[in-house]
Amino acid sequence: MQKALAPEISTWPDDGFQLRGSRCRACGETQFPVQTLCPHCSGREMEDVLLPRQGTIVAWTTQEFIPSFPYIGTESPKDFAPFAVALVQLGDVVRVEGRLTETAFDKIDFGDEVELTMVPFATDDEGNDIVTYAFAAI
């Protein structure tokens, strides 16, 4: 069985699931994940919004060594499989940091169009796959 790392940040496992964010009622700026105050205008009224599923890669890099604590991935330093990380612009709403599913790094480029998905990266004590959000090439 699959379990989400942080069930509260998305509508997964719904069909066409989306990430949850907060939009400021005063200035309209959006943040991810949900937060109660606005870092742009200091507004105190935020409304829940669902973020666009598709976006473009603004910046990206690779993670080629195993992250230290509090990373919960089940790999060992020896069998760790490097992954890519990107800053993805979702529509004209907000840019979100997340993993990319593409592991052939020479296929990734700035401006690539990607879509929200989930990837398994850890297992819990009961043998469930822990999944986190990621972006896959369209």
Partner 1 sequence: MNDVAIIGVGLHPFGRFDKTAMEMGAEAINLALDDAGVQWKDMQFAVGGSFEVSNPDAITRLVGLTGIEFTNVQNACATSAAAIKGTADAIASGQYDIGIAVGMDKHPRGAFGGEPDKLGLPRWYGESGLFLTTKFFGMKAHKYIHDHGISPRTLARVAAKNFRNGERNPLAFRRKPISEDEILESPMLNKPLTQYMFCAPDEGAGAVIMCRGDMAARFTSNPIWLKASEIRTRSYGAYEVHATCAPIMDGVSPTVHASKAAFEKAGISPADVGVIQLQDTDAGAEIIHMAEAGFCADGDQEKLLADGATEIDGSMPVNTDGGLIANGEPIGASGMRQVHEIVRQLRGQGGDRQIPGKPTAGFAQVYGAPGTAAATVLTT
**Chain residues that interact with partner 1, rule: CB under 8 A:** 5-6, 9, 21, 29, 31-33, 39-40, 58-65, 67-73, 83, 85-87, 89, 92-99, 105, 110, 121-122, 132
CB of 15 to partner 1, least distance (A): 23
Cis peptide before 70 (omega within 30 of 0): yes
Nearest residue (CB) to partner 1, 45 versus 64:
64
Q: What is the 3-state secondary structure (H, E, C) of 82-106?
A: CEEEEEEEECCCEEEEEEECCCCHH
Nearest residue (CB) to partner 1, 45 versus 75:
75
- Neighbouring C-beta atoms of residue 93, cutoff 10 Å: 18
CB of 20 to partner 1, least distance (A): 12
